[in-house]
Amino acid sequence: MQFHPARSPLRQGSYRALAATANHFARETHMDELARACGVDALEMRRRNLKDARVRAVLDAAAERFGWPGSRTAGHGFGLAAGTEKGSYLATAAEVSAEADGSVRVRRLVTAFECGAIVNPEHLRNQVEGAMVMGLGGALFEAVRFEDGLVTTDRFSRYRVPRFSDVPEMDVVLLDRKDLPSAGAGETPLVCVAPAIGNAIFDATGIRMRALPLLPRGLPAASKPATPS
């Protein structure tokens, strides 16, 4: 791996979970593509190749609470993602629906999270839920836009963030490991939201999105909700 610094005329700052969000999106999207190329269920593909027992534990917990793979209906899709960051482990499952107007609605998110011994369960649950909501914005529509060399996102009203109406049904499963030291929980729960949603969008529409945000302007005009297989 190489690092190439670059000068930018724009002010820059850290994003929650730093590069882990982009890295998990790339890896877990690719895992989904491999599973489909092999004709293997996305959950089973991960189970067959996982060596880390802690990742497997959160993956199984999320899948069980979600009821993976879910009931197949036209225009609805389901996606999974799992990973680890800052000493914590998580898996997220998502259900989305492709609407007739070209929009996508996230219907349900389930995250299983393990960060060693839990000190304050309610505070931890709040951190996970907050990260999941923040992850919606980065996954679907948060972007700085440019036109003719100028930034057109020049005020907060033009920067789309999640609203109450965007928030889906959410469920959090906390795995308490009293035998392990506590680890960070403020950032990690965000990193699997985007790949889980992206994989669910593909499941619903047959359209693979490989860049974030996934749908800054909705689905491509020519797309149609896929018929469930």
Q: How far apart are CA 198 and CA 126, in angstroms?
A: 24
169 catalytic per annotation: no
Q: What is the tens place of the pLDDT at every residue in 50-78?
A: 999 999 999 999 999 999 987 778 889 99
Query: What per-residue confidence (pLDDT) applies to 42?
Result: 96
Enter the pTM of the model: 0.89
Query: What per-residue confidence (pLDDT) applies to 9?
Result: 77
Helices 193-205, 20-38: axis angle to 10 degrees equals 30
> Between β-strands 88-98 and 104-114, what pairing exists: parallel, antiparallel or unpaired?
antiparallel
- Phi then psi for 125, rounded to 5 degrees? -60, -40
Residue ranges of domains in the chain: 20-205
Cis-peptide into 168, omega within 30 deg? no
Query: What per-residue confidence (pLDDT) applies to 221?
Result: 54
Catalytically annotated residue among 28, 85, 114, 187: 187
Q: How far apart are CA 84 and CA 24, in angstroms?
A: 9
CATH 3.30.365.10 fits 20-205, yes or no: yes
Q: What is the tens place of the pLDDT at every residue in 159-173?
A: 889 999 999 999 999
Query: What per-residue confidence (pLDDT) applies to 27?
Result: 96
Q: How far apart are CA 205 and CA 225, in angstroms?
A: 5
Query: What per-residue confidence (pLDDT) applies to 5?
Result: 81
Please list the ranges in the chain whose pLDDT falls under 70: 1, 217-229
> Are 94 and 109 within 8 A, CB to CB?
yes
Query: What per-residue confidence (pLDDT) applies to 225?
Result: 46
